[in-house]
């Protein structure tokens, strides 16, 4: 019997929920992790505050930018400045080490289980932490890939070398002209492989991962599945949150668990099979690892 625990009223409630969740992790036939931006925020990849000003004080001063969410949409005047910004954004969030152990702790909890990860995060943290690449579907792209801005062909390109060169050579927020990347097919400027509009390129790796995810779901049809939702916000609920609710509702053997720093909500019809923990994911994972059954 799983009780609805919307708000942590006492320490006991919190530890009871953790125990229930640990039992589910141990006993489920399969675990499907759905991870959103909140997981990487908890991992120390904050997009605002000190981390933003430490790295982008020049952009903040010139354009009044306040965080990496909105800065990513800023219409910079030249491609030299556009890549001056983006190379730093990508380097910081994709090529530097993850600031803390959140992803490692998550892996310790599921590494011996039959798991799959569905994520809207584009920062490559799951791969960096050592999650099995065959058990991972990152639906919204990857900072580490370039694509044609006109999507003239469905291919992506590793950008590590180019991004690092941009970081090393930029001056006054601009990269040198010769480092601006252009499409090898049509000559249009390259862009980062992120789903922001209809020009998002879904390359072969994307389709393979999508197929593996669907196969995983088919193989576990009617099994005891734990849907473990971590830090999913309200920007794109149709990718993780709504399908998780829907599948939980349809299969009575499943349990839906949601860990989020913000308020947690879910449909009434699944509340008996919902475990909700409103707290920092980092702390919850540390505590979960300490729970003895």
CA dihedral 148, 150, 152, 156 (to 10 degrees): 20
Tell me whether residue 102 or residue 183 sits nearer to Zn ion (CB atom).
Answer: 183
Residue 93 backbone phi and psi in degrees, to 5: -100, -15
The region of 108-116, 184-192, 195-203, 261-269 touching Zn ion under the rule CB under 5 A is 184-192
Contact between 182 and Zn ion per CB under 5 A = no
Contact between 148 and Zn ion per CB under 5 A = yes
Tell me whether residue 186 or residue 286 sits nearer to Zn ion (CB atom).
Answer: 186
List the structure tokens of 43: 């991992």
What's the closest the beta carbon of residue 199 comes to Zn ion, in angstroms? Answer: 10
Count of residues touching Zn ion (by CB under 5 A): 6
Neighbours of 290 (CB within 10 A): 10
Tell me whether residue 195 or residue 224 sits nearer to Zn ion (CB atom).
Answer: 195
Q: What is the largest CA-CA distance in the chain?
A: 63
The region of 104-112, 149-157, 220-228, 253-261 touching Zn ion under the rule CB under 5 A is 149-157
Tell me whether residue 176 or residue 184 sits nearer to Zn ion (CB atom).
Answer: 184
Element (H, E) at 277: strand 274-278
User: Binder to Zn ion among 183, 247, 275, 285 (CB under 5 A)?
Assistant: 183
> In angstroms, how far is CA 200 from the centroid of its own chain?
17
246, HSE (Cβ side, Cα atoms, 13 Å): 7
Binding residues (CB under 5 A) for Zn ion: these are 148, 152, 183, 185-186, 188
Known binding-site residues for Zn(2+) equal 148, 152, 183, 186
């Amino acid at each position: 019997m799983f009780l609805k625990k919307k708000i942590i009223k006492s320490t006991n409630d919190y530890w009871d929920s953790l125990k229930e969740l640990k039992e589910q992790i141990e006993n489920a036939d399969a675990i499907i992790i759905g991870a959103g931006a909140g997981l990487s925020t908890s991992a120390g990849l904050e997009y605002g505050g000190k981390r933003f000003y430490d790295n982008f004080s020049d952009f903040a001063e010139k354009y009044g930018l306040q965080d990496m969410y909105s800065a990513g949409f800023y219409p910079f005047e030249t491609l030299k400045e556009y890549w001056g910004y983006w190379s730093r954004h990508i380097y910081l969030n994709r090529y530097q080490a993850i600031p803390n152990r959140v992803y490692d702790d998550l892996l310790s909890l599921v590494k011996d289980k039959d798991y799959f990860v569905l994520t809207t995060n584009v920062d490559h943290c799951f791969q960096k932490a050592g999650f099995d690449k065959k058990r991972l579907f990152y639906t919204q792209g990857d900072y580490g890939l370039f694509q044609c801005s006109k999507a003239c062909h469905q291919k992506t390109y590793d950008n590590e070398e180019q991004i690092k060169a941009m970081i090393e050579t930029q001056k006054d927020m601009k990269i040198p002209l010769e480092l601006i990347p252009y499409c090898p097919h049509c000559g249009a400027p390259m862009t980062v492989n992120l789903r922001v509009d209809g020009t998002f390129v879904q390359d072969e790796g994307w389709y393979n991962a999508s197929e593996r995810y669907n196969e995983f779901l088919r193989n576990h049809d009617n099994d005891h599945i734990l849907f473990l939702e971590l830090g999913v916000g309200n920007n794109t609920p149709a990718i993780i949150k709504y399908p998780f609710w829907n599948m939980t509702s349809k299969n009575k053997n499943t349990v839906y668990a949601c860990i989020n720093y913000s308020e947690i909500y879910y449909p009434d019809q699944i509340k008996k099979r919902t475990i909700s923990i409103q707290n920092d994911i980092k702390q919850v994972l540390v505590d979960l690892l300490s729970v003895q059954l």
